[in-house]
Amino acid sequence: MLILTIGLVCMPLIGVEGLLHTDFVQQLIPFYAETRHALLAGEWPLWTWNAFLGDNFIAQFAYYTLFNPTAWLTALFPVGYMGWGIVLALYLKTCLCACFAHLYLRRLGFGASYCCAGALAYTFTSFYITGMVYFFFVEPAALFALLLWALEGVVGRRRYAFTQLAAVTFAVVAVNYYFAIASLLCGAAYLALRLWTGEGRRPGMEFLKGAGAALTGVCGAAFILLPTALFIASCPRLSAAGVSVSEMGVMIFERVFYALVPRLTEGPQTAFVSRTFSSISLFVPAMGLLGAALWARRQPRHWASIAVVAGAIFYFTPLNGIFTLFTEVKYERWGYALQMMLIVATLFEARELRGQSKSRAGAVYACLVVAACAVQFAVAKVIAPGSIGALAAGTVGFGVAAAVVTWICATKGFSAKALTCGTVAVASVNFVLFDYFCVLRQSADPEGFSTSDRMMRIFDGRGFAEAESEVFEYRTDMRAICPNQGMLENRPGVLAYISGVSGVTMPMRQLVTSSAVNQQMVIAAKRRSLDALLSVKEFRDYGVEPPNYQAAYEGLPAVTYMEDGAAVYELPDYIPMGMAYDTFIPESEFKGLYADVVSDGVDFPYVALSERNDSIDLCLQMLANLVVADEDTASVVRWMRKGRIDASAGLDSVVNARRALTAKSFRGTREGFTAEFDSPRDAFYFLSVPADPGFSLRLDGEPLEAFNVNLGMTGVMIPAGKHCLTAAYLPQGLVTGLCVTACAVIVFLTIWRIEYKRQ
């Protein structure tokens, strides 16, 4: 632990520039801020208005923060100092990763010095460098080491082995379900390998017992998994096109290539070399391919040698997380399994060598590293000659340095001392370069420093303008300095980036965004019509002019007021939430309007950024005529007449007509929403609230049917007079998931009781 702490302190691990980088800024900080606010509200959050137009809180945030203890830790810090809570969490996660790896290696029988060297090498892999940016990638690597520790307990028939395995499996799934698939698959393969290559009796029965314990842990997390699975089941990512043979070939080449080249955070900025998220190479390659290859040559039938081969098969197999399943191989996010097996094989080799010189092998590997770096430089120079600079030179230089360290380690016979010192030294250099490249990248980005300055508010005490109340009244919007900024302001963010895409609002998302999967920018043909349709009341300008937004709000009125450094405008086309319609068209007719619009290759095309179509404003069409699902037309026909699509009068005319009859008030909470109506006649009202099946609507206390209108939004029939509409939200599958979890707890206690009596 002392060596680990010294290594962490020597590295710029808590360097702000390293934290203020890409997705850490765009996703993690806003998600932590939103989770913090939700947890401190005193009630378990079920719904969030800070995700697109509102979404399932459990399904959206389970992967990122909701069941992550380090996110709860940061919630203890004031919002102006939340960044230091994240730094503390990063340190604790790093220590836990090393401790869990140390526990596992001790169960394999390695001495203290070798366990220390292996734990440091596992903790400071290039996967961890990426994990510092993708903050929620660190826990899966740490918990995978703990999972192997639990599996070794099953192999060694240790006390409470099955209870431990069930508990660890629950943690693996609950903390980050996205990585759980890979971790559990690799764990199952590992257990089978250890049982069938060991001296244990009845390996099949022991495997079934272990699988039963693991299944108990998975079922224990059903209260998370079931609502999330139902949410993701309708995600359009699952219907993504498969990967071509040529793409598969490129992917395999890249992963072989980065098995030799220690990878920096981004490398040369080319499409060719930036596809793979993290490398399987270690900071000290001696703790990777070289040591493992030497051990496999010495003991080809040893389980560690076989595990390296099996890990490589998993690594190159196009399996991925729950979002992409078998359809995407460009993101490799679970190389930690192979990394651990490489380390284990290297430690076996180091223990057997006992000081024997392997300088020739070290020299050969050093030459391979240098050659691979030269190939990388040459490829980058051909593909993107204008973006090489310090990035390519840094990668080559770092590769040469790592090759030298590898040669030294091999010469010293892979002694624990050499491996430990080399790991800490090379990791320190890599973190320095990592921070340097973050600064370099932000310097090249005209918006980078403005974004970083806003993120610095969670370090210097300034914080963000959090709302005083849990009530959200109407929609607000702000210019997208980067996605998810609305969460930092605790204001509903139409521009929020959502990794999971609800199938309910998918058509609307595709219509108003540049992508059906990652909603980073709203690119509509007519932005003013979209704001009116979604009841966007205000616009906040923080002084940064993002791409493609220069003409988004032409003709704005005078600044209404200044807030937290932002100029706030009230949008002239704003329509209060809950507008009444008296005409409608079936959805099939509305889709016919898409004929000349660029398609995204899925069910609903969207208005592409590269080809904005000024001849048709689809959001204006939805303002003029409610779009109703074909199967619901018979139900709404008695409330509305089917009118012709006529938006020729212009936006001002349509907006004025809609303002004539709207809801008296609308207030959203984390449990649902409340709307009040005072209607002079029977009317069909449209609410820009996702028509999520988890909502239960009541009108004056009586159940009310909701309709899916305007491509995934909510429509309700309200009779004349004063009425109060309330909506309570309960994620689909939550009750069933809780029941499964309760059953799993009973099974877990039974397993514990059986193991207790046998001791």
What are 662's strand-pairing partners?
Answer: 579
Residues 568-609: pLDDT tens digits?
Answer: 778 888 899 999 998 888 988 887 776 655 444 444 444 444
pLDDT of residue 51: 72
% the chain with pLDDT above 70: 65
pLDDT in tens, 426-446: 777 766 666 666 666 555 555
pLDDT by residue (tens digit) across 539-565? Answer: 766 665 544 443 445 566 677 788 766
Residue 557, number of CB atoms within 10 A of its CB: 9
At residue 284 the predicted structure's pLDDT band, cuts being 50, 70 and 90, is confident
Average pLDDT, the chain: 76
How many CA atoms within 13 Å lie on the side-chain side of 220? 23
Distance CA 501, CA 234 (A): 8
**234-259 average pLDDT score:** 62
Could you give the CA distance from residue 216 to residue 380 in angstroms, rounded to a whole number? 49
What are the CA-CA distances from residue 333 to residues 94, 129, 321, 519, 653 (Å)? Answer: 18, 12, 8, 22, 52
**What CA–CA distance (Å, rounded) separates 601 from 605?**
7
Handedness of CA 129, 135, 139, 140 (dihedral sign): negative
Q: What is the pLDDT of residue 497?
A: 47
Give 77's pLDDT tier (boundaries 50, 70, 90). confident
Q: How many helices (H) does the chain have, and how many strands (E)?
A: 30, 17
CA distance 357 to 648: 84
Select from 699, 691, 719 the least CA-distant residue to 632: 691
Structure tokens at 119: 């734990």
Three-class SS string for 74-95? HCCCCHHHHHHHHHHHHHHHHH
Tell me the per-residue pLDDT of 96-153, one tens digit each, with 9 for 90 and over. Answer: 889 999 999 999 999 988 998 899 888 877 666 666 666 777 888 899 999 999 999 9
Q: Does residue 517 carry a pLDDT above 60?
A: no
Residues with Cβ within 8 Å of residue 360, at least 6 apart in sequence: none
Q: Which residues contact 355 (CB under 8 A, 6 or more apart)?
A: 412, 413, 415
Residue 493 pairs in a beta bridge with 476
Distance, C-alpha 399 to centroid of its chain: 30
**Which amino acid is present at 647?**
A
pLDDT band at 490 (very low <50, low <70, confident <90, very high): low
Backbone dihedral angles phi then psi of residue 546, each to the nearest 5 degrees: -65, 160
Quote the tokens at residue 617.
Answer: 């404003």
| Residue 170, φ and ψ in degrees, nearest 5 | -60, -45
What CA–CA distance (Å, rounded) separates 419 from 753? 43
Taking CA 728 as the corner, what is the angle to CA 724 and CA 732, rounded to the nearest 5 degrees? 150
Q: Is 262 exposed, middle or buried (0-12, 13-18, 19+ CB in 10 A)?
A: buried
Q: Which tokens hold the place of 456? A: 């610095």
For the CA atoms of 498, 503, 507, 510, the dihedral, rounded to the nearest 10 degrees, stands at 30
d(CA 91, CA 101): 16
Higher pLDDT, 38 or 748: 748
pLDDT band at 718 (very low <50, low <70, confident <90, very high): very high
| pLDDT at position 601 | 44
Supply the DSSP string of 367-421, one letter for each residue: HHHHHHHHHHHHHHHHH-GGG-HHHHHHHHHHHHHHHHHHHHHHHTTS-HHHHHH
Q: In terms of pLDDT, which residue wins out, 288 or 752?
A: 752
What is the end-to-end Cα distance of the chain in Å, rounded? 32
CA-nearest of 480, 486, 692 to 34 is 486
Quote the CA–CA distance of 697 and 714 in Å, as a whole number.
11
Reported as a single tens digit per residue, the pLDDT across 5-30 is 655 555 544 444 455 555 666 677 77
Predicted pLDDT of residue 493: 53
The two tokens of residue 725 are 């509409």
Spatial CA neighbour of 675 closest among 475, 530, 467, 473: 473
Residue 146 near residue 173 (C-beta atoms within 8 A): no
**Coil vs helix vs strand at 674:** strand
* 208 phi, psi to nearest 5 deg: -65, -40
The pLDDT of residue 597 is: 55
727-745 mean pLDDT? 95
Q: Structure tokens of 528?
A: 């003013």
Q: How far is CA 711 from CA 228, 359, 406, 496, 631, in A?
A: 22, 66, 58, 18, 14
Q: What does the pLDDT look like over 610-666, one tens digit per residue?
A: 444 455 677 888 898 899 999 998 888 878 877 766 777 788 888 988 898 999 999
Tell me how crowded residue 584 is: count the other CB atoms within 10 A of its CB.
26
Do residues 52 and 505 touch, judged by C-beta distance below 8 A? yes
Q: State mean pLDDT over 357-367.
A: 77
Alpha-helical regions (H) of 412-553: 416-444, 448-455, 485-488, 506-512, 527-533
290-347 pLDDT per residue, tens: 888 889 988 999 999 999 988 887 776 654 433 343 334 445 566 788 889 999 999 9
Q: How long is the chain?
A: 759
| Rounded Cα distance, 169 and 184, in Å | 8
For residue 445, the model assigns a pLDDT of 56
Structure tokens of 182? Answer: 């890979």
Q: What angle do CA 700, 704, 707 make, to 5 degrees?
A: 140
Check pLDDT > 80 for residue 184. yes
pLDDT, mean of residues 236-246 = 54
Q: CB of 18 within 8 A of CB of 437?
A: no
More confident residue, 696 or 383: 696
Residue bearing tokens 């030497």:
294
pLDDT, tens digit, 9 for 90 and up, residues 383-419: 655 555 555 666 667 777 778 888 888 888 788 888 8
Higher pLDDT, 88 or 44: 88
Hey, how many other C-beta atoms are within 10 angstroms of the C-beta on 679? 18
Of the candidates 417, 482, 418, the one whose C-alpha atom is nearest the C-alpha of residue 455 is: 482
Closest residue by Cα to residue 289 from 255, 314, 319: 255
Predicted pLDDT at 605: 44
